[in-house]
Structure 1
Amino acid sequence: MSITRFVRPAALLAAGSLLLTGCGGDSGTADAKPAAVTLKNCGHTVRVDAPPKRAVSLNQGTTEIMLSLGLADRMAGTATWTDPVMKGLAKANAEVPRISDNNPSFERVLEDEPDFAAASFVSTLGKGGVATREQFEKLGVPTYVSPSDCVGKDNSGDGDGVRDTPLAIDDVYGEVRDLAKVFGVAERGERLVASLEKRVATATQGVHASDVTLLYWFANSESPYMAGCCGAPGVITRSLGAKNVFDDTHDEWPQINWETVADRNPDVLVIGDLTRRLKTAETAEKKIEFLESNPATRNMDAVKHKRYVILSGQAMNPTIRTVEGVEQVAAGLREFGLVR
């Protein structure tokens, strides 16, 4: 299959990762002697009496923040991966044991004797996930969940949650600052946030895409998960002044039939390229193969003109790699001549 007009994240990701590694790659010691830290986090009060020495990160998003902050030597394990680790972090990541590619059992996590547990999603530290926060805390292990997955979001349903308030990139930066504070490296957190802000400003400079429509496809070919208005894809879309064809739903990742997708007929398809094997059509290659052969989608404008922007799964989640998503979609719009 010949694919001539798509944008992969390799070049810009490498450049961005150098900035992140520079922020997080200083000494493993704390910036200053820290005091106990207390945070309000997703309805919980988190108290950490001393910087963690054996933290476990149970989602890739939190893992990459910790690695970017130079905390590999204070991590006892990681879990739940959708993609290869961010470029520039491979060496640090190799120093940290991987507990599991997916959700590990609570018992397996406890084997590593953690003194802190962090996750990107409420579901990871909830019923049906690795364990509840209360289960960890009863054993004296403080827990933390990314505020990006709880602020302005209802996770009580069966799906991926519903947002009544659009996610802001500042929510992601808040997680960086919180984790930096917990580990006693607040200055590193500020440097990392500054580098991310600079990347967003550079990527969006001169981009005016108010006439451009986008669709974000994360996974699954039978009942595809498409981005609603207000999660990480919403951050990307708003930063470029574009429009998401499914911005009329506040569901995080609603499952939408292909006839409806074809009827919305977006200008550009933003496609998740996942390495996990939980759903159908996880890789970008499989997704594109499906789009170009399915009768309902092969005549869509974006498919006929091969206007594909390929993103890592993490860039489509509320993580520091959402910045990578801004960079790559902006580059794609320029590549396709859609930026005024």
Structure 2
Amino acid sequence: MRIRTLAYAALTATLTAALAGCGASEPVPEEPAATSTGGEGVTEYPLTLDNCGTEVTVDAPPERVVSLDQNSTEILLSLGLEDRVVGTASWTDPVLPELEAANEDVPRLADNAPTYEVALGADPDFITASFGRHLNESGVATRDRFAETGIETYLSPTDCEGDVSINGGGTRTHLLDIESLYTEIRELAAVFDVPSRGDALIADLEERTAEALDGVDAEGATVAFWFADTRTPYMAGGYGSAAMLADMSGMENVFAGTADDWPATGWEAVVEKNPDVLVLGDLQRARFPGDKLEEKIEFLESDPLTSTMDAVKNKRYIALHGAEMNPSIRSVDGLEKIGEFWKEQDAG
């Protein structure tokens, strides 16, 4: 990778010269691992990670990172790395309010996925992505293509089962665990040599999760998560991030038997399952009909078929931003909103 520090290069040259002058009986000191010159000085470099079946090696903290997804971007900003982020993409919602100042001067390369040329134009030395679709032939570019230019890539563990990318064409076989998100935070914190910031972020998310779920009793209520599209709605399947939210809060996902994260289905199937609660994606974009919350509610309550559901009749809606329904630090925001809904139900 081409982000080796000058100090490390100078050290290598010095040791090479020393080796040339040593006799066969002279002790040769081992070359120490390079460490960060601008972070906490804890990570030892080169650092190698097994990332979704791809070996990722960094020689020093990246100086110029491009994040291909909002989820990844908000982790980087939460770790205080805004001065390293030279481009972001694929946004579904405004940045978290507490990260607005950090994000203010970060270039947005595209609202959706950028082209390879645009991503490369930011002159990155590291690429992060939350979803594997960006790192395949039909996406921004393959990991091998980035590697040919000396750029390492990192894919969120939330998108991986072993060496298979779920969003890149694979299928989940077990429920997503929030520990995958914590692994992503720890590994990115290690890559950028800010491990204590990663530990602090994880501790905060764990504390908030415990508080959000404290006293919540969903009593096995059934739920459906609707992400987008009024024509062929994308509803949460049984193993992805939304299913994880249902499981953690004690609700029963009515599409639990579906392996895909967000399968497109028909309204007849949704109405037949008649969930007690509908979690509605409030997306601040205009990609599909019904992206925004008010459009979803208007459709549900005016359509002759969907208006017959108990959740619609009783207006039992939980509104979550798109990023809160994807595996990200906002998953905890989603849990807080779900917990608040059930606490209000109990109080009522």
Structure 1 and Structure 2 fold alike (TM over 0.5): yes
Deviation, structure 1 residue 208: 2.1
Cα offset, 1:29, TM superposition: 4.6
Whether 2:311 is the aligned partner of 1:294: answer no
Aligned twin of 2:77? 67
Distance verdict in 2 for CA 1:47–1:154, change over 3 Å: closer
Q: Which residue of 1 aligns with 2:342?
A: 333
Please report how far the alpha carbon of residue 114 of structure 1 lies from its aligned counterpart in structure 2 after TM superposition.
Answer: 0.2
User: Tell me, which stretches of 5 or more residues in structure 1 are unaligned?
Assistant: 1-27
Q: Structure 1: which amino acid aligns with 2:59?
A: D
**1:328 Cα shift?**
0.7
Gap runs ≥5 in structure 2: 1-36
**SS at 1:252 equivalent:** coil
Correspondence for 2:111 among 92, 101, 104: 101
TM-score w.r.t. the length of structure 2 is: 0.86
- The yes-or-no answer on 1:111 pairing with 2:121 is yes
Percent identity (aligned)? 48
Shift of 1:259: 1.1
In structure 2, the residue matched to 1:49 is 59
- Alpha-carbon distance in structure 2 between the residues aligned to 1:147 and 1:56: 18
Is it true that 1:32 corresponds to 2:41 in the alignment? yes
Matched, 1:269 2:278: yes
Distance 1:320 1:330 in 2: 16
8 Å contact from structure 1 (residues 153, 162) kept in 2: no
**Cα distance in 1, alignment partners of residues 166 and 206 from structure 2:** 32
Matches of 1:304 and 1:210, distance apart in 2: 20
Question: Mean alpha-carbon deviation: is it higher for 39-48 or for 124-133?
Answer: 124-133
Structure 1 residues 205, 184: closer, same or farther in 2, change over 3 A? same
Q: Aligned residue for 1:78?
A: 88
Deviation at 1:335, TM superposition (A): 2.1
Candidates 245, 256, 261, aligned match of 1:247: 256
Q: Distance in 1 between matches of 2:266 and 2:163?
A: 24
1:173-188 equivalence runs, <5 A: 173-188=182-197
Residue of structure 2 in register with 1:15 after alignment: none
1:74–1:155 Cα change, 3 Å: closer
Equivalent residue number for residue 231 of structure 2: 222
**How much has 1:249 moved relative to structure 2?**
1.1
CA displacement, residues 6-55 of structure 1 (integer Å, 9 cap, x when unaligned): xxxxxxxxxxxxxxxxxxxxxx9512254221100011000011101110
Aligned to 1:139: 149
* Secondary structure at 1:272 match in 2: strand
- Take 2:151 and 2:181, find their aligned partners in 1: how far apart are those partners? 23
Which residue number corresponds to residue 332 of structure 2? 323
Query: Normalising by the residue count of structure 1, what TM-score does the alignment of the two structures yield?
Result: 0.88
What is the DSSP-based 3-state SS (H/G/I as helix, E as strand, rest coil) of the residue aligned with 2:308?
A: coil
Alignment partner of 2:333: what SS?
helix
User: Displacement of 1:178 after TM fit?
Assistant: 0.8
State which of 185, 195, 202 in structure 2 corresponds to 1:193: 202
- Distance, in Å, in 2 between the alignment partners of 1:274 and 1:29 is 37
TM-superposed CA distance for 1:206, in Å, is: 1.4
Distance 2:314 2:95 in 1: 31
- Report the AA paired with residue 216 of structure 1: F
The one-letter amino acid of 2:282's match is: D
- Greater shift in the superposed pair: 28-37 or 196-205: 28-37
Q: Offset of 1:255 from its aligned partner?
A: 1.1
Indicate the larger mover: 327-336 or 313-322: 327-336
Q: Which residue of 2 aligns with 1:166?
A: 175
- Alignment correspondent of 1:124: 134
Letter in 2 for 1:123: R
Note if contact 1:209-1:338 (Cα within 8 Å) is conserved in structure 2. no
Q: Residue 187 of structure 1: SS of its match in structure 2?
A: helix
Separation of aligned partners in 1, 2:71 and 2:217: 29
